[in-house]
Amino acid sequence: MNELIAQSNMLLTDLSAQPMVLLIAVPLFAGIVCRFLPSKGGAVAAVIAFLTGIYAFLIAWPLFNAKAAAFSHHNWLALRLDGINGFILLATTVFSLLILIYSFGFMKGKDRQNHYYAYILWTLGASCGALLASEFILLLVFWGILGVTLYLLTGISGPEAAGAAKKAAIVIGGSDSILILGIALLWVIRHTTRMQGAPVEFGGPLSYIAFFCLATAAFAKAGAMPFHSWVPDCGEKAPASVAAFLPASLDKLLGIYFLYRTTTLFTMNSGVTTALAVIGAGTIIFAVMMALVQHDLKRLLSYHAVSQVGYMVLGISTGTPLGIAGSLFHMLNHAMYKSCLFLCAGAIEHRTGTSDLDKLGGLAKAMPVTLFSCIIASMAISGIPPLNGFASKWMIYQGIIESGRSGGVLWVVWLTAAMVGSALTLASFVKLLHASFFRQPSPEVAAAKPREVGPGMWLPMGFLALLCVAFGLRYLSPLSRFIFPAVNAPVSFTGKWFVGPATVMIAGALFGGLLLYLLGTVKKPRVCRTYIGGEYLDEVYISGSEKSTARDVEVTGVDFYQTIRDMTPFKQIYTMAQWKLFDLYEVGTHVSFFISKIFQFFHTGVLRQYISWYVIGMIILLWLMK
Amino acid sequence: MVRYLVHIGEVLIFPGLLFTAVIGLVTSWIDRKVTARVQMRVGPPFLQPFYDIVKYMIKETCVPAGASKFVFLAAPLFGLAAVTVASTILWRPMVWPEKSFIGDLIVVLYLLTIPAVSVVIGSFASANPIASIGGSREMKLILSYELPFILACLVPVIKTGSIEFGRILAEPMAAASPAGIIALIVAIVCMQAKLTLVPFDMPEAETELTGGAYVEYSGPPLGIFKLTRAMMLFTMPVFLITVLWGGIPLHEGAVPAVLGAVKYVGLIVITVLIRNTAPRVRIDQAMKFFWGPVTLFGVIAVIVAFIEGL
């Protein structure tokens, strides 16, 4: 007995000396503490979570700098740090920390804060575990925990989010079982569940099925089509901070990380890469077309969280070091601007109480920091140079062109899809900016009298927006520090984008324009009332007649792209989307209900019928086995 | 430090802001003069576009109440900066081929959409419904022409396997191949929309939207927008010639330079002729036009380019 205690003590000291183990265990443990705090202890939970977040960052930073580490215990508890997961680990802790800071203000006064912080911490610990695991079984455990915390966090905002939470849990859970199948098949091929080792050559159906099983798990986590449908629901119904935390940043990091890991386990051939490219390009275009017509701010952003995955998948599908580096860089950049956008949405919702684009407007003056963060992040996601989204998309484009050098014509299709997707992204963000910030305020907004959110909320937003600018203007330094070590091959650019001289030029040109301004009369602008159609806008706008409060002159911007919706091929596609034909979850639900209906037909409750079925079945069986 | 000063000199004087602005304004004078002659008018004197810009500068600046003042005033500057930098990047290899490139085809392609985006953002910041409609049309126009324009620009990429201007310029595209000619025609049609000239001027549509996207702008900000448009009128044809038609190699001596100038004038004449003979179309018609026949021709150009490469 004493020996056993001594042994377990030794094991504990052994484990607690391992920073990688601590990084997983401490957030999980702190989460348990938060979870069992009394429900009034929200502030305490927030402080515990914040301190844990800082602690995780302080461990992750030296780990990232160490570049390589390995730890294994009893053969199954195998952790491994290398170039690929190091920077993702660091990013995970940074995003968690930012979300925790934001949550101080955002969650203030809300119910079940102790639960919220517990789930966030569990997510953090499990994510670190999933990233560090070098054994598929261990990865599966953490992957499973992440599915559960996603369900809990999505459902935290109350009963109206229950459907979205259920959907997320079913899609992710379903993909988990496919992942188990993939791991089993891979074991049949390789006889090991290690995540390292010589890549498997494709040959025979088994290897293909194994690869696509693993890829399915990655797609479902990252939200690529056709496993995307949980993302828009989750993004719309979950609190904005959760949307910024999971579908926008952490799930992308994990999903794309896992997809990349999977591709390193196989020797890719052109059939597989083409399939990946089809998924990538399709995801970009379909999701962004859906985003164009959304009426809800958070749902619109969620469709972009799907669409951007397409770029990452496309980048990996090129198989060139440049494309893969671009893909990983895009993953990092996406986490920045998409979190920033969701945090902006959260700030808007916090002040106006709604995320319905039809009911927003006029926030440009009231919430300047939110406006500028939102504009920068919107331009970054649309790939406007010199922001970070441009740099990574530009690398992916080059990767696609480079992959075309080995022959084939399909690369033009992927490239066109990616570049047009970028313009469509811009279009939907322009709509978002108009409907929420620039147009005349809606009566709901006017009644809410919005003002800027507190520094706890705008600091993370502003920080992420500045990061978008910094990563764009200095794209080579994050690349060489974070991304290039992850790609096991030298990366060389085929295009040219010398952002240093370009920055000087942009600054110079802006200065030139400013000089023209200063020569002019801009210093003393006169504020004029808006005058349209022979009347002052504020008079026409507020009331057409004295009695009604109907607004006669109003452009919300929500229906800007009705033109596209009414156009022939798109009209039918949008109608099909309204029937949820592209939603695997809904289609699956219908199929399973249909099957159960067939069985219901036989399920009459009459015993004699059941017995006759048994007899018939027995006869068939006996005949078959004769 | 000296290097950066040189860059600033390039961007402010030659081949950047001053150079592009002067040639752009002269081009806009040609446009106005030809238009006037077509309509049996005398037309403005040579310096009229310059007078106009000066006049805009001394006119009062009005900012609509309820508008975001900073965004409203800053939007024109970003458009101007983008076209200036794009022009500088384009001209550098044609003036000093020994200097290193700043950006490639994709960079310039993206930079050249920023002026349109700045019009959209500026119009939205005016908080005027009419401006909003204009801005939304401008955005939809970007969506329409972007697809065929990208396809046209991919033809030289297919041919050379590169997005570097150095490699693309080495290939005398349109004159030499059917794919290049089709791509050039597609690109010219897209250019008309990118410059928002008739028949694709629905974002400002004077007769129905009274200026649309620009309705709230006055004084210097409007002047900057007009200047940006004039500079685009110069930069867009140059971009087309660079990508699809062998460029305007100033450094190679008088004959190629003059030949390049002839190509430029040719493109301007085509643009002005279209603008004076076509009626304005609706935005949905424009979208169907660009996503339908024009894109089809873009696809044909790409396919032909692949066939030629076999």
Residue A523, pLDDT above cutoff 90: no
pLDDT of B294: 95
B219 chain-A contacts, CB cut-off 8 A: 520-522
A contact test, residue of B102, B149, B194 with most A CBs within 10 A = B102
Q: Do A532 and B135 touch (CB under 8 A)?
A: no
Residue B55 contacts A, CB cutoff 8 Å: no
Q: Which amino acid is at A266?
A: F
Q: Do B128 and A530 touch (CB under 8 A)?
A: yes
Q: Which of A513, A528, A532 sits opposite B77 (nearest CB)?
A: A513
What mean pLDDT value characterizes chain A? 86
pLDDT of A202: 82
- What mean pLDDT comes out for the span A599-606? 80
Higher-scoring residue by pLDDT: B99, B216: B216
| Smallest CA–CA distance from B310 into chain A, residue | A407
| Smallest CA–CA distance from A554 into chain B, residue | B129
A420 chain-B contacts, CB cut-off 8 A: 146-147, 150
pLDDT of A18: 81
| Smallest CA–CA distance from A420 into chain B, residue | B147
Let me know: does B106 contact A495? Beta carbons within 8 Å.
Answer: yes
Q: Which residue is associated with the tokens 């962004």? A: A288
In angstroms, the CA B160 to CA A12 distance is 62
- Residue A133 in 3-state DSSP? strand
> Parallel, antiparallel, or unpaired for β A266-267 and B62-64?
unpaired
Let me know: does A232 contact A303? Beta carbons within 8 Å.
Answer: yes
Q: Do A509 and B17 touch (CB under 8 A)?
A: yes
Residue A547, pLDDT above cutoff 60: no
| Smallest CA–CA distance from A389 into chain B, residue | B110
Which residues make Cβ contacts (< 8 Å) with residue B130, sequence separation at least 6?
A532, B209, B210, B211, B212, B215
Q: Do B85 and A555 touch (CB under 8 A)?
A: no
Share of chain A above pLDDT 70, in %: 97
Q: Which of A420, A426, A563 sits opposite B287 (nearest CB)?
A: A563
Q: Å from B216 to nearest chain A CA?
A: 8
Q: How confident is the model at residue A531 (pLDDT cuts 50, 70, 90)?
A: confident
Q: Do B132 and A383 touch (CB under 8 A)?
A: no
Q: Which of A398, A437, A508 sits opposite B7 (nearest CB)?
A: A508
Let me know: does A221 contact A213? Beta carbons within 8 Å.
Answer: no
The residues pairing with A535 across neighbouring beta strands, listed in sequence order, are: A532
Q: Which of B3, B8, B104 sits opposite A495 (nearest CB)?
A: B104
Residue B26, pLDDT above cutoff 90: yes
pLDDT of A462: 92
Instruction: For B84-98, write each residue's pLDDT tens digit.
Output: 999 999 888 888 887
Alpha-helical (H) ranges within A69-203 are 83-106, 113-132, 136-154, 162-190
- Residue A450 in 3-state DSSP? coil
- What mean pLDDT comes out for the span A1-26? 77
Q: How confident is the model at residue A189 (pLDDT cuts 50, 70, 90)?
A: confident
Share of chain A above pLDDT 90, in %: 27
Let me know: does A462 contact A369? Beta carbons within 8 Å.
Answer: yes
The number of C-beta contacts closer than 8 angstroms across A and B is 267
B contact test, residue of A285, A517, A561, A562 with most B CBs within 10 A = A517
Residue A585, pLDDT above cutoff 70: yes
In angstroms, the CA A531 to CA A193 distance is 71
The residue among A456, A436, A305, A291 whose CA lies nearest residue A371 is A436
- What mean pLDDT comes out for the span B126-151? 90
Instruction: For A462-498, write each residue's pLDDT tens digit.
Output: 999 999 999 999 888 888 888 888 887 788 888 888 8
Instruction: For A91-114, write each residue's pLDDT tens digit.
Output: 999 999 999 988 888 888 777 888
- What mean pLDDT comes out for the span B52-56? 91
Q: Å from A420 to nearest chain B CA?
A: 6
- Residue A206 in 3-state DSSP? helix
Q: Å from A211 to nearest chain B CA?
A: 31
Instruction: Say if residue B294 is exposed, middle or buried (CB neighbours under 10 Å; 0-12, 13-18, 19+).
Output: buried
Q: How confident is the model at residue A620 (pLDDT cuts 50, 70, 90)?
A: very high
Let me know: does A538 contact B261? Beta carbons within 8 Å.
Answer: no
Residue A167, pLDDT above cutoff 60: yes
pLDDT of B164: 84
Q: Do A527 and B11 touch (CB under 8 A)?
A: no
| Smallest CA–CA distance from A526 into chain B, residue | B62
| Smallest CA–CA distance from B225 into chain A, residue | A513
Residue B128 contacts A, CB cutoff 8 Å: yes
- Domain regions of chain B by residue span: 2-309
Q: Which of A384, A494, A497 sits opposite B103 (nearest CB)?
A: A497
Q: Å from A250 to nearest chain B CA?
A: 29
The residue among A31, A195, A47 whose CA lies nearest residue A127 is A31
Q: Do A560 and B140 touch (CB under 8 A)?
A: yes
Residue B25, pLDDT above cutoff 80: yes
Q: Do A557 and B136 touch (CB under 8 A)?
A: yes
A384 chain-B contacts, CB cut-off 8 A: 110, 113-114, 117
Q: Which of A430, A496, A555 sits opposite B102 (nearest CB)?
A: A496
Q: Which residue is associated with the tokens 């397409």? A: A310
pLDDT of A543: 40
Q: How confident is the model at residue A541 (pLDDT cuts 50, 70, 90)?
A: low
Q: Do B71 and A427 touch (CB under 8 A)?
A: no
pLDDT of A552: 59
The residue among A312, A301, A288 whose CA lies nearest residue A242 is A301
Q: Do A555 and B133 touch (CB under 8 A)?
A: yes
Instruction: For B224-246, write each residue's pLDDT tens digit.
Output: 999 999 999 999 999 999 888 88
Q: Do B127 and A362 touch (CB under 8 A)?
A: yes
Q: How confident is the model at residue A439 (pLDDT cuts 50, 70, 90)?
A: confident
- What mean pLDDT comes out for the span A34-45? 83
Let me know: does B134 contact B211? Beta carbons within 8 Å.
Answer: yes
B146 chain-A contacts, CB cut-off 8 A: 419-420, 423
- Residue B157 in 3-state DSSP? helix
Would you give the DSSP letter of residue A135?
Answer: B
Residue B221 contacts A, CB cutoff 8 Å: yes
Q: Å from A430 to nearest chain B CA?
A: 7
pLDDT of A333: 92
CA atoms within 13 A on the CB side of A260: 29
The residues pairing with B64 across neighbouring beta strands, listed in sequence order, are: A528
Q: Do B132 and A498 touch (CB under 8 A)?
A: no
Backbone φ, ψ for residue A531 (5° rounding):
-125, 115
Note whether ipTM > 0.85 here: yes
B contact test, residue of A504, A524, A552 with most B CBs within 10 A = A504
pLDDT of B119: 93
Q: Do A412 and B4 touch (CB under 8 A)?
A: no
- What mean pLDDT comes out for the span B9-33? 90
Residue A601, pLDDT above cutoff 50: yes
For chain A, helix, strand, coil in percent to 5 are 75, 5, 20
Residue B283 contacts A, CB cutoff 8 Å: yes
Instruction: For A79-94, write each residue's pLDDT tens digit.
Output: 888 888 888 989 999 9
- Chain B, residues 222-261, CB within 8 A of chain A, namely 223-224, 227
CA atoms within 13 A on the CB side of A489: 11
Let me know: does A517 contact B77? Beta carbons within 8 Å.
Answer: yes
pLDDT of A545: 44
B contact test, residue of A428, A432, A555 with most B CBs within 10 A = A555
B contact test, residue of A416, A445, A499 with most B CBs within 10 A = A416
Q: Å from B186 to nearest chain A CA?
A: 15
pLDDT of A325: 92
| Smallest CA–CA distance from A522 into chain B, residue | B61
Residue B163 contacts A, CB cutoff 8 Å: yes
Residue B17 contacts A, CB cutoff 8 Å: yes
Residue B90 contacts A, CB cutoff 8 Å: no
Element (H, E) at A80: strand A77-81
| Smallest CA–CA distance from A497 into chain B, residue | B103
